[in-house]
Amino acid sequence: MSNSSKSSAGMWAEYAKKIKKVSTLNDLEDIEQELFGRKQGVMTLAMKKLKDLSPDEKKVQAKELNEQKQILVEELEKLQNDLETPTGDVLAKSDSIDVTLDLPEKERGHLHLIPEFIRQAEEVFGRMGFDVFRGPEIEPEEYNFDLLNFPKDHAARDWADVFYMKKQTAPDNRLTLRAHTSPCQVRYMQKNKPPLKAIFPGKTYRKDDDATHSPMFHQLEGLMVGKDITLANMKAVMIKCVQELITQDAEFRFRTGYFPFVEPGLEMDMKWTGEDKTKEGDWLEIVGCGMVHPNVLKNCDIDPDKWQGFAFGFGVDRMVMIKHRIKSIRELFPGDVRFLRQF
């Protein structure tokens, strides 16, 4: 091998090294031009020079040059492939994206406990075939009370400590902030005929304000009406609900209670059981319930001789406090993510 061919072999090897360091398609194009450009390409010129050599020299050098050319072309093709479908390695080499960099950890949010609970409830009841309906938060007395079988002069209208709206349309049917979600029963049954089952989650308002009450709170009302729906069905649905949403480790009891829109009316209490002794304690009142009063069915144009059903109204804030053992309802208001993340 002649001296000139040795040094040119070194030069091609330099080019091969250079190609290996290329990290962008632009640089790749540059080096391609430098080597194979039609007029000035180093390789192009070297190829052109072959014709000046003697036939013997030409044979040797042409062979070697072709080999080097083959090597460089392969390197360039491989590189082009890599750059067009970048892998982690190639990306790490390029300065635009450094995939090896550690990023600061992202702060994660947390859904507030109340909507979290309501979403879970919608899922649990959804699986049992219950529809979801949300009624208005401003209701005339007619829906808050009259259609729910509250007599006009009934003391129970005080029971709710109702917020009346300043602006009034009719003196005998004043606008209120709804005191419970039970008006949704009427609204739903005016639109849907039995057999039916639905839940009504939402905000409710009363002039209560202490550690366990706030003027705005949430209820989850349930309603099921059919040909032969009984208290046994009610019990099964409500117990299932508490077991799925609060705990499997609980005992339940039912006491009589009074609400004008159910007959008989009941209240359900629960008590923690199971391994965790810190959760043991008294009976906790969690829900009012009962069989839908015939007058309510009548008010919705449903024949009480043909249809019957049950209704219940869970206090959502109360259930969330029981579930997470939160002492004051005030802790549910600031929405502090440090508080929420504990659960």
Interface residues with ligand PHE (CB under 6 A) are 180, 182, 221, 259, 262, 288-290, 311-313
The least CB distance from residue 106 to ligand PHE, in Å, is 41
Closest-CB residue for ligand PHE? Answer: 313
DSSP track, 202-245: EEEE-S--BTTB-SEEEEEEEEEEESS--HHHHHHHHHHHHHHH
The least CB distance from residue 113 to ligand PHE, in Å, is 20
Both tokens of 102, joined, read 């550690």
The least CB distance from residue 306 to ligand PHE, in Å, is 21
Residue closer to ligand PHE, measured from CB, 201 or 290? 290
For the chain, how many helices (H) and strands (E)? 13, 10
Residue closer to ligand PHE, measured from CB, 44 or 233? 233
The least CB distance from residue 302 to ligand PHE, in Å, is 16
Residue closer to ligand PHE, measured from CB, 19 or 135? 135
Residue closer to ligand PHE, measured from CB, 43 or 318? 318
At 117 the three-state DSSP class reads helix
Strand order in the sheet with 175-177: 138-140, 175-177, 163-164
224 beta partners = 197, 310
List Cβ neighbours of 343 (8 Å cut-off, separation of 6 or more): 110, 113, 324
Strand boundaries in 107-215, DSSP class E:
131-132, 138-140, 163-164, 175-177, 196-205
Residue closer to ligand PHE, measured from CB, 259 or 272? 259
Residue closer to ligand PHE, measured from CB, 180 or 187? 180
The least CB distance from residue 311 to ligand PHE, in Å, is 4
Residue 260, CA distances (Å) to 197, 202, 208, 316 in order = 21, 21, 21, 21
Q: Report the alpha-carbon distance of residue 231 to residue 247 in Å, rounded.
A: 22
217 beta partners = 204
The least CB distance from residue 159 to ligand PHE, in Å, is 9
